[in-house]
Each structure stands twice: as structure tokens, then as C-alpha cells.
């Protein structure tokens, strides 16, 4: 795997971990949003 792709995947995993600890849901965007510079969406709190 290319080093820049590895860095990108690591950064996504890091943000997902932080969102999970905070009780939020983190999801990866689709291509149209990605072209706008939005890679991940963090949404409201998970249900208890």
C-alpha cells in the first residue's frame, strides 16, 4: 500500500476512535462529498 494511502487510512481510524469515545457516530462520505473536501461526517450522539 502506498505510504500516503496508509497515512490517510490511519487518520480516518484516529478520528473514528475519537468520535466513538465521545459517543458519536463517524461515517465516511461518498465520492460527491469527497470532491467537496468532506471526507468524514460525525453525527449526533449514539443512543445509550
Measured in residues, the chain has a length of 48
CA distance 30 to 34: 6
Which helix (H) or strand (E) segment is 43 a member of? strand 40-45
Residue 26 domain boundaries: 3-45
Q: What is the pTM for the complete model shown?
A: 0.75
CA distance 39 to 27: 9
The number of distinct structural domains making up the chain is 1
- Angle in degrees, CA 32, 18, 48, rounded to 5: 95
Residue-wise pLDDT for 1-48, tens only, equals 799 989 989 999 999 999 999 999 999 988 777 788 888 999 987 666
CA distance 48 to 41: 20
Amino acid at each position: 500500500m502506498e505510504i500516503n494511502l496508509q497515512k490517510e487510512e490511519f487518520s480516518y481510524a484516529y478520528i473514528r476512535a475519537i468520535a466513538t469515545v465521545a459517543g458519536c457516530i463517524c461515517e465516511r462520505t461518498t465520492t460527491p462529498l469527497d470532491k467537496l473536501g468532506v471526507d468524514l461526517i460525525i453525527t449526533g450522539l449514539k443512543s445509550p
